[in-house]
Chain A
Amino acid sequence: MSRPDVPVEPAEPVEPIIPVEQDPAVKVPLALEDWLAVGVLAILALITFVNVLVRYFTDQSFAWTEEISVFLLIVLTMAGGSTAFVRNHHIRIEAVADTGSPARQRRLALASNTVVLLFFILLTVLSVRLVIDEYVYEETSPAIGVPTWWYSIWLPVMAAAIALRTLGTLRRLLRTGAR
Chain B
Amino acid sequence: MIAALLFAAFAALMVIGVPVCVALGVAGTLAIVLSNQDVAWFGLLAVPQNFYAGLAKYPLLAIPMFVLVGSIFDRSGVARRLVDLAISIVGRGPGMLPLVAIAVAMFLGGISGSGPACAAAVGAVMIAAMSRAGYPGSFSASVVAAGAATDILIPPSIAFIIYSVLVPGASVPALFAAGMVPGLLAGFALIVPTVWLARKHKMGTLEAHLPRPPFWASLRQASWGLAAPVLILGGMRLGWFTPTEAAVVAVFYGLFVGMCIHRTIKLRDLYVILREAAELSAVIMMVVALAGIFAWALSTLSIIDPITHAIVNSGLGEWGVLALLIVLLMTMGMFLDGISIFLIFVPLLMPIANAYGWDPVWFGVILTLKVALGQFTPPLAVNLMVSCRIARVPMESTVPWVVWLLGAMFLVLVAVLVFPQLALWLPHHLGY
Contacts and interface: CB of A to CB of B under 8 A. Distances in A.
State yes or no: do A and B come from one complex.
yes
Interface of A: 1, 3, 5-7, 10-19, 34, 37-38, 40-42, 44-45, 48-49, 51-52, 66, 69-71, 73-74, 76-81, 83-85, 87, 89-98, 108-109, 111-112, 115-116, 119, 122-123, 126-127, 129-130, 133, 152, 155
Contacts, number: 229
Given A1-B276, A19-B389, A93-B380, A77 B285 contact: yes
Interface size class of B (residues with CB under 8 A): 35 or more
Task: Decide if the interface of chain B is mainly helix, strand, loop or mixed.
Answer: helix
Interface string B317-348: 00000000000000000011101100000000
29 contacts: A3-B272, A14-B75, A15-B75, A15-B77, A15-B120, A16-B390, A17-B390, A37-B275, A37-B279, A38-B275, A69-B58, A70-B55, A77-B282, A77-B286, A80-B281, A81-B286, A84-B282, A87-B279, A89-B279, A90-B19, A91-B21, A91-B287, A115-B26, A119-B22, A119-B25, A126-B44, A126-B45, A129-B48, A130-B52
A13 B58 CA distance: 37
A44 B390 contact: no
B263 interface: yes
A94 to B, nearest CB: 7
A98 B19 CA distance: 13
B190 interface: no
Contacts of A18: 120, 386, 389-390
A9 to B, nearest CB: 11
Contacts of B88: none
Interface in B277-316: 277-283, 285-287, 289
B30 to A, nearest CB: 10
A94 B385 CA distance: 12
A111 B279 CA distance: 24
Interface in B5-26: 13-23, 25-26
Contacts of B3: none
Contacts of A122: 29, 44, 47
A51 B386 CA distance: 35
Contacts of B336: 91, 93
A108 B244 CA distance: 40
Contacts of A17: 124, 390
